[in-house]
């Protein structure tokens, strides 16, 4: 019998525990991606001059969150000094939040099947909070994505794919090198916060 993906998926969907597994897998994947984005935000804000310039006029303590309705995952970040710092998982009093309507919508963006602006055009994402902050966050997020994602998906995620200079490529390699330590640091931060609660 020839392998047929559609048939396989149909059979899988019939399994009693499949919807739960599917939902949990999507949640886990999005949670991991958000953690990576949070780590990248911290590192890029420390290294990239253009992101420093973009956030220079942001008010100190400005918080933003990115997450998924109705039960997350979420990450919250905050401007501290000339950098962006990870506050924690969940919504921690953000001034502006990018919220995906559901896990599927978030997955489309985080697996680079559609861009964030396409997701907005398809009403898959909501903005909760100050509109001007949202546009500033959008630009900052685009800069982080430039240093995080490989060049071959730039055409999907950007309206105008950027071309990185050699100094930017060096920064990109530093970001990649430091991602894992920062992820571990954030993970510890979250566990300590859970323990304190």
Partner 1 sequence: MLPNYYQFYCPVKILSGQLAVSNIPYEMTLLHAKKAFIITDKGVVKAGLIDIVKSAFEDSTCEMGCIFDDVPQDSGSSVVNKAAMLFEKEKCDCLIAVGGGSALDTAKGVNILVSENAKNLLKFQGVEKITKDLKPLIAVPTTAGTGSEVTKIAVIYNEDTKEKMAFVSDRLYPKIAVIDSRMTMTMPPKITAATGMDALTHAIEAYICLQNNPIDDIYAKTAIDLIRRYLIRSTENGKDEEARLGMANAALFAGIAFSNSMVGMVHALAHALGGVFHVPHGIANAILLPWCLEYNISKEPKKIAELAAILGGSLEYLEHTDLAHITVSLVRNLLQRLNRISNIPMRLRDAGVTRDKLSVAARLAINDGALIYNPAEVSYDDALTIYEKAF
Strand partners, 67: 74, 99
**Taking the complex as a whole, how short is the minimal distance between the CB of residue 118 and partner 1, in angstroms?**
7
Cβ(86)–Cβ(63) below 8 Å:
no
- Rounded to 10°, the helix 166-196/18-47 angle is 120
In the complex with partner 1, the residue whose CB is nearer, 14 or 159, is 159
Should residue 129 be labelled a site residue for partner 1 when binding is judged by CB under 8 A? yes
Question: Which of 112, 120, 153, 193: binder of partner 1 (CB under 8 A)?
Answer: 120
Binding to partner 1 (CB under 8 A) within 99-118 occurs at: 114, 117-118
Question: Which of 128, 164, 183, 189: binder of partner 1 (CB under 8 A)?
Answer: 128
Question: Cis omega (within 30 of 0) on the bond before 170?
Answer: no
Tokens of 34: 């958000």
Should residue 196 be labelled a site residue for partner 1 when binding is judged by CB under 8 A? no
**Taking the complex as a whole, how short is the minimal distance between the CB of residue 131 and partner 1, in angstroms?**
5
Selected range binding partner 1 among 43-51, 119-127, 168-176, 183-191, rule: CB under 8 A: 119-127
Binding to partner 1 (CB under 8 A) within 137-176 occurs at: 138-139, 158-160
Cβ-based burial of 85 (10 A; exposed 0-12, middle 13-18, buried ≥19): middle
Q: Which residues bind partner 1 (CB under 8 A)?
A: 114, 117-118, 120-124, 126-129, 131-132, 134-136, 138-139, 158-160
């Amino acid at each position: 019998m020839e392998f047929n993906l559609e048939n396989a998926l149909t059979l899988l969907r019939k399994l009693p525990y499949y919807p739960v597994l599917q939902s949990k897998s999507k949640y886990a994947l999005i949670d991991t991606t958000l953690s990576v984005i949070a780590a990248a935000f911290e590192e890029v804000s420390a290294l990239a001059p253009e992101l420093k310039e973009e956030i220079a006029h942001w008010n100190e303590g400005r918080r933003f969150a990115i997450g998924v309705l109705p039960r997350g995952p979420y990450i919250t970040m905050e401007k501290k000094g000339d950098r962006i710092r990870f506050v924690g998982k969940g919504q921690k009093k953000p001034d502006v939040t990018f919220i995906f309507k559901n896990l599927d919508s978030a997955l489309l963006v985080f697996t680079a099947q559609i861009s964030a602006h396409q997701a907005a055009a398809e009403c898959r994402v909501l903005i909760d909070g100050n509109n001007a902050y949202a546009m500033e966050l959008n630009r900052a997020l685009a800069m982080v994505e430039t240093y995080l994602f490989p060049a071959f998906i730039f055409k999907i995620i950007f309206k105008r794919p950027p071309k990185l200079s050699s100094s930017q490529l060096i920064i990109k390699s530093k970001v990649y090198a430091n991602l894992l330590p920062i992820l571990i640091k954030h993970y510890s931060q979250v566990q300590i916060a859970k323990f304190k609660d």
